[in-house]
Structure 1
Amino acid sequence: MTYIAHIRQQDGAIQTVQDHLIEVQQGAERVGEKIGVKYLAGIAGLLHDLGKNTDQFRDYIQDAVANPDAPPRKGSVDHSTAGGRLLHRRYHHKAASAEVKSTVEWIANCIISHHQGLRDYVSPEKTSPYIERVVTKQLDQYEQAEEEFFKHNSPEQLDEMFKQATDELQQYIQIIKKHKLPPIAGSLLIKYIFSCLIDADRTNTRRFEENEPQAAKVDDSSFFQKSYELLSQHLTNLKKGSTANTPINQLRREMSRQCEEFAFRPSGVYTLSIPTGGGKTLASMRYALRHAIEYNKQRIIYIVPYTTIIEQNAAEIRNILRADDMILEHHSNVVDDKDDERQDGDEGETYDQRKKNLKLARDHWDRPIIFTTMVQFLNTFYAKGTRNVRRLHQLSNAVIVFDEVQSVPVKCISLFNASLNFLHVVGRSSLLLCTATQPALDFVKHKLHFSVEPEIIQNLEHVEQSFKRVELHDRTQDSPSGWGAEELSSFVQEQMREVDSVLVILNTKTAVRKLFEQLNAAEWLQDSGAQVVHLSTNMCAAHRKEMLSGENGVIQRLAKGERIICVSTQLIEAGVNISFECVVRSLAGLDSIAQAAGRCNRHGKDEIRNVYIIKSSDEVLTHLPEIKTGAAKTERVLQQFQDDPESLGYDLLSAKAMTCYFQYYFNDIADQMHYPIPKLEQNLFDLMDRNRYYVDAYRKRHDQKLEVVNQSAIATAEKYFEAISTNATPVIVPYGEEGNELIMDLNGKLEPGEMGELLRKAQQYTVNIYDHELRALEKNGDVYPLLHGHALALREPAYSDDFGVEAKGEGAWEKAII
């Protein structure tokens, strides 16, 4: 009797359950072995689809193929519980040690969850969903599935593998204890094993469906060596430029050299505090390539806060390394897949070609160099379901560079620190935190464990003084209630009498638009010879890129000496290589103000230029609490600077001033860093750590000892996790010829490979629309569905060259970081 895992649609070929189990085992072992969890991952692969060894499932899948228009209900046959039950029954008993029980619980949870997401060991309902699944759930034909499995796999072989898996777990428990990591590290290791299983299973299923041979392994070391040589040549060429020997450029080269020397240090958690405009991108890539070569790292991953930084940095690196196919950018997900996680179904079971094509189009970070966002990074560890966690294993044995690390969302700080500690200690990765405004991540309760002497740049105070190009001026007291658009326009007029370019950065899109319209209506503007440019996240990435660096973009026009006033939200204040003669920044966190200052006199063309801090009365920060709190702490630092400038190094942009600001800031928000969940009156960190509250409640309710060693509520934590609470929906916009063509192409019939390429392009033509804005657009008939409702597109009249998406109202978050 042949039991079926999948039936290929194109030719009816069958993949047997045994073949699928062995192939997934081998795939999971390959990725698990990177960090020494070969057997923990391998057993999960070997047992994950054991439940398909039944007459019931065979009838189900054959019925699905025979009746594609009326298939049986998806998930009507449970095939994912059996493997977890076998493991639990065979090894989890009263006499078993805690290590053996943990090994069972870790692997079995991955098996029973591989179509939904990991289960709670102890839930808010004072139950154990894990135990309910592996012990008490009614499971038809379980004995048949187990008997068939052991016909092809000897019990002795499984016992030996399990012994090896237990040894792996014991080793990691010792490592976690040695480095004094909290229990959340164990939860993250479960997620790592889950990642190995999910990727191996999905990859094997896809290859069978597409009749595709196993892809050849990329030679990472050769690619990194070649890339290092190309970067070295580029840096050599920079020495030949006409401005190569200016003091600033000499200092940039010295800091870059220090990065290369530092790369020979062992894997660790380090900081790179190059001042704004110091050549951070190339210096950090020099470190990453050299370190990857020396320590055989498999991947270099750049984590950035905003899509705008990805656009610029990835383009710069691509131009130097000349290897487009080896560099992946992963921005936002164009397809709305909030309810796309499967229940107990399988990619090969329902033959829903449209959904399968959408799944195959998603990247899983299989390139040597990845550029992605902080939101995608956090989602990989903490978001619900199986889609995000699939790529978690790609973060191990890597060099991971966090650009502008101060932008980690406040509520995620403890979770962020836990994930970095895990990646260093367990994942064998090197982590580099890059910013001119280092947050005090070792000053918080669940702190980041930096390596000894973590800073790469030597004599940092001297470097800061050498890079000083601006003077910060506090004008917040000029009008304590803030300037409106008219007063701010007059202030810009004053500055334009002295300079040729001014950048104004405000905290909300509404305030930016008001000022833009006020400036354009001002009589003085016509006589000034200046042009006003507007930038906001209502514009898609391709639009912003054209506005900034296109043939007639702001950067080109500044280089020609044209007179320009740019009014923008904070999307421009980090990672954009642009320089104005004057910057005006609305009051916000001191780190944001420092980043804004980095857009002024960026290349040191002038000795000193002015940056002004002002208040805007047009900003409503009710829905922007982090900015509001940051602004209040900045006011405290401004007052301290006025009273005792020596304590802050006589410079508001010094490392001393920044540390002072972050300590004030973190003290104020201490309870918010662990991801509070108001509905539960708990925090997400504790749910994945000791889960004390619900464990105690469980014991009181059942008046007995816990049946499980593990206690975390992983599923509940995932349910409530959202890196940025935007309530935003991605919409593809018809910007330019390519944007319009893209929308038309996505309306046609597509092959999986073609769809993947189109969705990657669509990331550049996507705007995240807040719920209230989306409702207004829908009411006007300005949005319509693509891909059978899995994506949305905007009609052309609702997109303007000046403002992008024409939807009124304040957003809950102003940064393009998803």
Structure 2
Amino acid sequence: MEYIAHIRNEDGHIQSVEEHLMSVSKLSARYGKKIGVERLAYIAGLLHDSGKLSTQFRDYILEAVNNPNHPPKKGSVDHSTAGGKILFEYFHHHGQNVPMQIIAEILGNVILSHHMGLQDFLSPDTTSTYMRRVKEKEINDIDRVKDNFFQLIAPLKSLTDDLQNSKNELTDVLTRNNKRSQSKNPYLTMTFLTKYIFSCLIDADRTDSRCFEEDINVPESRNNNDLFNLFYQRLTEHLNSLNNDVNINAIDRLREQMSEECDKFADRPSGIYTLSIPTGGGKTLSSLRYALKHAAKFSKDRIIYVVPYTSIIEQNAAEVREILKEDEHILEHHSNVIKEDEDKDAKIPYQKRKTHQLTKDNWEVPIIFTTMVQFLNTFYSKGTRDIRRFHNLANTVIIFDEVQAVPVKCISMFNEALNYLRNVCNSSILLCTATQPALEFVEDSIDGIDGEIVPNLDKVTDHFKRVEIVDRTRHGGWNTEELSYFVLDVLNESSSVLVILNTKTVVKKLFNQLSKNEDTVVYHLSTSMCAAHRTAILAKVKSTLQSGAKVICISTQLIEAGVNISFDCVIRSLAGLDSIAQAAGRCNRHGEHEQRNVYVVNHKEENLNYLKTIKAGAEITERMLIDKQNGNISKDLLSAEVMNLYFKNYYTELENELGFHVPSLKENLYNLLAGSETYKQHYKNKTGEHFPLQLYTSMKTVGDHFQVIDQQATSIIVPYKGGADIIAELNGDVDLKKMSSILKKSQQYVVNVFKYELQELSNSGDLIPLLDGRILALRENAYDLNYGISVGEEGKMAPHIL
């Protein structure tokens, strides 16, 4: 009998289980080899679909294909548990040593989870999903599945030998991640190893399935050295053209010097380095120069830029594309356009469901621009979509632009991710910001910084001083009307003003107030606009600035980091000192004037009660402003020394938040990554027995509760310009081969909305479900060319505007 893994939609061709398992195991091993776990990843691939070696699954898949509109219930034939059961039965009994039991647990969890996300070894309620699956759950025809696997795929002796030999891989990973810190918890390392192998398996499984569906060969691994060398040459030519400009000023000369330092530093081996170029110092191109040279010299697979805001992606990616004369090999990944929903999957016809699963991006291109949300989701979010990318973070150059923007609750988990990437994955990491966030100060810290690229940092900072921080906070604060008068007064003394406030509500209110003045050009920016829309607004702002006309721009903090724009004056609502420093970077950015002012105000109408970290930062900054006024702080507020003091106060104030505390769990998510001793004790108290597994981590629970942004956001494609064409295209039948390209283009036309906004848009009939509801689009009249998504009111999409 031929056991079936897949049936091609186009021509009904069958891929046998044997063909699929061998192909996936080889591809998974290739991914695992990057960090020295080739054999572990191979075994995961070999066993992952062993449950398909049954007549029940053969009947199930034939029924699904023959009756696509009324397929059998998804999961009615369990094919993912069998591999975990085989490992548990043969390699987890008392006669096996501890390393073998750990390997059986790691690989068993990876295999039985490959359709739903990694499971808990020990859950908060003291149950174990893993144990229930491998020991208690009954699988029809499991004996036949085992016999078929050992006869058709791998004899028991061969599997035993592979597992015995894989113990060295486990030991090596533990040694590499623990060598810098003796207090490192080995269970934490094993969690990351589990996630890495899981990533190898998920990507290998879906890649092989996609290639079979498209009837193409599995892609070979590629070496990007020649490409990175070419890009390095193009960047060097661009920089040389800038440096040969006869009108180059002192600030430009400093940028040139720091760029040269980055070039020299690229010859150093992989590590975690800081690049503390002052705001406006040219971090993007300097870090790219380091990354391209380092990647070519040390044969790195890719370069990944991680930024806090999508607005930075838009500008930086566009600039890099233009300089490198490249588009195909550069990816912008803002958001997950397709929602992952296991319950909804079960109701979608079989072939459509397969299309959804196979088209999710895996970050295989040479240069990627993405957000901190996407980076952290790759490590910690639930399900299978995001973690698929994990293995492509190995052997890379990762540049964190504006690293100070890591959410406080994620600090410990961020630090451990970086430790693993450097110590185990051979990745080189660059922490870029003018306001380094003292990541070594916290308890669960980075295992040491390997060096700062910029020499004589204090001297460089002094040379870059272009602004003065002016405290204009006052008792009771400013209301919108009062602030509008102040903005106009400041505009009378200068030609351009940037106002940055903490919430979209007050930004929109001030914009409306100032727009009443017909003699003033006023622009509005917020995250309610899609990327393409913000880019268009910024282009108009820059054009107005260059013309010399008076202009006001009112924005949320999205404009603070990485946006290359310069105003004569900046007014910043009270926030963390790092935010004020970033805002200052948009003032007199190129040293056009000897010195300009950055005014700090307190807006009484801002509600920060639900923005705990912004509120805490604002309160600490307010105290530091008072200390500065009283002479207790002698250094400049934007100096590295004062910024370090700010972050130490900030992390001390919020120390209970750093490990991602979840009150309902009575635990930090950080602790659950290594395993909760409290949960293990509860298990013993409840059962009277010791917990029967070597690992007791709670990875599913972490995924269920992990979200970088406090409020859950949903991505919606909006009908701004090209977004309307994408919506129309997705509204029809979409070929699998075109899906990835469409989703890539859609990134420019996506807005993330919170749950309450989503509900209002749904209630007003402004949402259009696409691809069986897995993608959401916005009705045209719900988008406004001044504000972006207009919740609860009609938008204005007049074609002559913009």
Bin the TM-score by the shorter chain: over 0.9
**Take 1:118 and 1:360, find their aligned partners in 2: how far apart are those partners?**
19
User: Which residue in the other structure is 1:766 paired with?
Assistant: 750
Matching residue of 2:402: 404
In structure 2, the CA distance between the partners of 1:571 and 1:338, relative to structure 1 (3 Å rule), is farther
Q: Given the alignment of the two structures, is residue 205 of structure 1 paired with residue 209 of structure 2, yes or no?
A: yes
- SS class of match (2:711): coil
**Partner AA of 2:75 in structure 1:** G
> Alpha-carbon deviation of 1:155?
2.4
In 2: Cα distance, 1:778 partner to 1:112 partner? 36
Task: Among all aligned residue pairs of Structure 1 and Structure 2, give the percentage whose two residues are the same amino acid.
Answer: 50
2:789 pairs with one of 805, 809, 814: 805
Q: Secondary structure at the match of 2:465?
A: coil
- Corresponding residue SS for 2:373: helix
Q: Deviations along 1:141-177, whole A, 9 cap, x unmatched?
A: 1111111111132223212211121111122222233
Question: For residues 34 and 172 of structure 2, what CA distance do their matches in structure 1 show?
Answer: 15
Distance in 2, Cα, partners of 1:533 & 1:342: 43
Alignment match, 1:167:
168
- CA separation in 2, counterparts of 1:315 and 1:674? 35
The question of whether the paired residues in 2 share the 8 Å contact of 1:421 and 1:448 is answered with yes
Give the letter aligned to residue 186 of structure 1: M
Alignment counterpart, residue 477 of structure 2, candidates 478, 482, 495:
482
Per the alignment, residue 690 of structure 1 pairs with 675
1:511 to 506, 509, 512: 506
Deviation at 1:425, TM superposition (A): 0.6
SS where residue 214 of structure 1 aligns?
coil
Give the letter aligned to residue 698 of structure 1: Y
| One-letter amino acid of the counterpart of residue 2, structure 1 | E
Cα shift readout 1:420-456 (whole Å, capped 9, x = no counterpart): 111111111111100011101111010112234x211
Q: 1:473·1:612 contact (CA, 8 Å) conserved in 2? A: yes
User: Does structure 1 residue 275 correspond to structure 2 residue 275?
Assistant: no
SS in 2 for 1:120: coil
CA contact (8 A) 1:65 1:351 kept: no
> Partners of 2:32 and 2:762 in 1: how far apart?
46
Distance 2:720 2:6 in 1: 42
Counterpart of 2:188 in structure 1 is: 184
Spell out the pairing of 1:89-488 with structure 2 (5 A cutoff).
Answer: 89-152=89-152, 153-180=154-181, 181-182=184-185, 183-244=187-248, 246-339=249-342, 352-452=350-450, 454-476=451-473, 479-488=474-483
Cα distance in 2 between the residues matched to 1:305 and 1:460: 24
SS for the counterpart of 1:789 is: coil
SS at structure 2 position matched to 1:679 = helix
> Partners of 2:149 and 2:336 in 1: how far apart?
39
Describe the shift of the 1:469–1:808 C-alpha distance in structure 2 as closer, same or farther (beyond 3 A). farther
2:594 matched to which residue of 1?
Answer: 607
- Shifted more, 668-677 versus 531-540: the winner is 531-540
| Amino acid of the structure 2 residue aligned with 1:175 | R
What are the equivalent positions in structure 2 for 1:631-650 lying under 5 Å apart?
Answer: 631-644=618-631, 647-649=633-635
| TM-score after normalising by structure 2 | 0.96
Q: Is the 8 A contact 1:730 1:767 kept in 2?
A: yes
Whichever residue aligns with residue 404 of structure 1, its letter is E
Note the residue ranges of structure 2 that are not aligned, 5 or more in a row.
794-802
CA distance in structure 2 between the partners assigned to 1:58 and 1:427 by the alignment: 39
Mean alpha-carbon deviation: is it higher for 297-306 or for 164-173?
164-173
CA–CA distance in structure 1, aligned partners of residues 117 and 394 of structure 2:
21
**Match for residue 565 of structure 2 among 564, 578, 591:** 578
Aligned to 1:815: none
Aligned to 1:719: 704
Contact 2:525 2:554 in 1 (8 A): yes
Residue 687 of structure 1 aligns with an amino acid whose one-letter code is L
**Residues 303 and 401 in structure 1, CA contact (< 8 A), matched pair in contact too:** yes
Q: Give, as a single letter, the amino acid of the residue that structure 1 aligns with 2:167.
A: T
Amino acid of the structure 2 residue aligned with 1:29: A
TM-score normalised to the size of structure 1? 0.94
Partners of 1:7 and 1:719 lie apart in 2 by 33
In structure 2, do the counterparts of structure 1 residues 774 and 719 end up closer, same or farther at CA, with 3 Å as the change threshold?
Answer: closer
CA RMSD of aligned residues (A): 1.7
Query: What is the Cα deviation at residue 519 of structure 1?
Result: 1.4
When residues 583 and 779 of structure 1 are mapped into structure 2, their CA distance, relative to the original with a 3 A threshold, is: same
Which of 740, 743, 760 is equivalent to 2:724? 740
Instruction: Note if contact 1:53-1:145 (Cα within 8 Å) is conserved in structure 2.
Output: yes
User: Residues of 1 paired with 2:19 and 2:533: CA distance?
Assistant: 49
1:281 maps to a residue whose letter is: T
Cα 1:338–1:620 change in 2 (3 A) is: farther
Find the aligned partners of 2:536 and 2:201 in 1 and give their Cα distance: 42
Q: Deviations over 1:251-305 (max 9, x none)?
A: 1111011111111111111100001111100100111111112211111111011
- The whole-number CA distance in structure 2 between the counterparts of 1:703 and 1:176 is 35
Q: Is the 8 A contact 1:341 1:385 kept in 2?
A: no
- Work out the number of aligned pairs and report it: 789
Structure 1 residue 729, shift from structure 2 partner:
2.4
- Whole-Å Cα distance in 1 between the matches of residues 508 and 125 of structure 2? 48
The CA distance in 2 between the partners of 1:751 and 1:769, in whole Å, is 28
Q: Which runs of 5+ in 1 are unaligned?
A: 810-818
Contact 2:304 2:369 in 1 (8 A): yes
Counterpart Cα distance in 2 of 1:155 and 1:410: 49
Measure how far apart 1:808 and its partner are.
6.0
Trace 1:539-578 onto structure 2 (pairs within 5 A). 539-549=529-539, 553-578=540-565
| Residues in 2 aligned to 1:265 and 1:140: alpha-carbon distance in whole angstroms | 56
Query: 2:223–2:301: 8 Å Cα contact kept in structure 1?
Result: no
Question: Which of 758, 772, 775 is the equivalent residue of 1:788?
Answer: 772
Structure 1 counterpart of 2:678, which letter? Y
- CA drift of 1:351 comes to 5.9
- Judging changes above 3 Å, is the alpha-carbon distance between structure 1 residues 155 and 125 closer, same or farther for their aligned structure 2 residues? same
Deviates more, 1:35-44 or 1:290-299: 290-299
Q: Structure 1 residues 339, 53: closer, same or farther in 2, change over 3 A?
A: closer
Match for residue 24 of structure 1? Answer: 24
Whole-Å separation in 1 of the counterparts to 2:387 and 2:761:
33
The aligned counterpart of 1:678 is 663
How far is the alpha carbon of 1:342 from its aligned partner?
6.2
User: 2:49 aligned with 1:52, yes or no?
Assistant: no
Deviation at 1:354, TM superposition (A): 2.5
Distance 2:59 2:119 in 1: 28
* CA contact 1:600–1:609 (8 Å) conserved in 2: yes
**3-state DSSP class of the match of 2:237?**
helix
The alignment partner of 1:271 has SS state of strand
SS where residue 6 of structure 1 aligns?
A: strand
Which one is further off, 187-196 or 681-690? Answer: 681-690
Asked if the contact 2:274/2:449 (under 8 Å) is kept, the reply is no
Residue aligning to 1:43:
43
SS of the aligned residue for 1:167 comes to: helix
SS at match of 1:613: strand
Q: CA deviation at 1:216?
A: 4.1
Q: Does 1:535 align with 2:525?
A: yes
